[in-house]
């Protein structure tokens, strides 16, 4: 299916606005290598980046590699990461994936999205973040921020995050994906929060859709 000229034009304008507001896109999760990034991204599920960054220094002081992590018990990991939520499930996943990295990948995080997705607790979004932010491989991780904004900006029909990812990859140049997914997140957090805009209040939404009369509802991921 070909892309409409209006949608391509809108995507190009959005890209320009995002680049103006966020020319630099520092990675929000504190880490020192691919392993600590993987653990931080796993912990960020249903948790804020700020909270994760408060928790990981204590965890990484004890264990910042798979070899060190497996020396901790699941209970020890769980006690440290409890503020991030879902700690029983996340602690078990961290312990298990650390064993797998040692047994199968010589303690290294694989630079392969298929292999990453096979690790416990690592879904497509987490794997995409690691591929883009740790290894620089073009990927377009879709979280709730991006999914919502893509619908509000009419870049996708928003049936699910898989479709949103596919649509955005078609609309934007591949060499922009890694930076762009962060730019959209940053823009949503600062200017177009779910309760603060919903397609009617931020400057970008008002500029693109001046005739909207009521807040836009969106399909949750």
Do 34-133 and 5-25+141-208 have the same topology in CATH?
no
Q: How many CB atoms lie within 10 A of CB 136?
A: 10
Active site residues: 125, 143
How far, in Å, CA of 221 to CA of 219, rounded? 6
pLDDT in tens, the chain (221 residues): 456 788 899 999 999 999 999 999 999 999 999 999 999 999 999 999 999 999 999 999 999 999 999 999 999 999 999 999 999 999 999 999 999 999 999 999 999 999 999 999 999 999 999 999 999 999 999 988 899 899 989 899 878 899 999 999 999 999 999 999 999 999 999 998 877 787 778 888 888 888 877 777 666 66
Report in angstroms the alpha-carbon separations of 168 from 39, 60, 172.
26, 35, 6
Q: Could you name the CATH architecture of 34-133?
A: Orthogonal Bundle (1.10)
What is the reported pTM?
0.90
Residue 63: what pLDDT?
98
Quote the pLDDT of residue 163: 93
The residues, any chain, with a CB within 8 Å of residue 71's CB and separated by 6 or more, are 63
What pLDDT does residue 144 have? 85
* pLDDT at 2 (0 to 100): 55
Composition of the chain by helix, strand, coil, percent to 5? 60, 0, 40
Domain spans in the chain, listed from the N-terminal domain onward: 5-25+141-208, 34-133
As a CATH number, domain 5-25+141-208 is: 1.10.1670.10
């Amino acid at each position: 299916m070909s892309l409409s000229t209006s949608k391509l034009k809108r995507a190009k304008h959005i890209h320009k606005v995002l680049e103006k507001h966020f020319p630099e896109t520092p990675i929000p999760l504190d880490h020192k290598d691919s392993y600590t990034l993987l653990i931080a991204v796993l912990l960020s599920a249903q948790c804020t980046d700020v909270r994760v960054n408060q928790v990981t220094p204590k965890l990484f002081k004890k264990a910042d590699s798979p070899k060190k992590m497996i020396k901790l018990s699941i209970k020890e990991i769980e006690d440290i990461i409890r503020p991030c939520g879902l700690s029983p499930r996340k602690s078990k996943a961290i312990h298990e994936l650390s064993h797998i990295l040692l047994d199968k990948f010589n303690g290294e995080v694989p630079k392969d999205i298929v292999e990453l997705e096979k690790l416990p607790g690592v879904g497509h979004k987490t794997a995409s973040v690691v591929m883009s932010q740790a290894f620089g491989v073009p990927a377009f991780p879709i979280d709730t921020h991006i999914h919502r904004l893509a619908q509000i900006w009419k870049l996708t029909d928003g049936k699910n995050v898989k479709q949103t990812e596919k649509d955005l990859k078609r609309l934007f140049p591949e060499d922009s994906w890694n930076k762009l997914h962060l730019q959209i997140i940053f823009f949503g957090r600062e200017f177009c929060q779910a309760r603060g805009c919903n397609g009617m209040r931020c400057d970008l939404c008002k500029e693109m859709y001046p005739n909207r009369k009521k807040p836009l509802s969106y399909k949750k991921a």
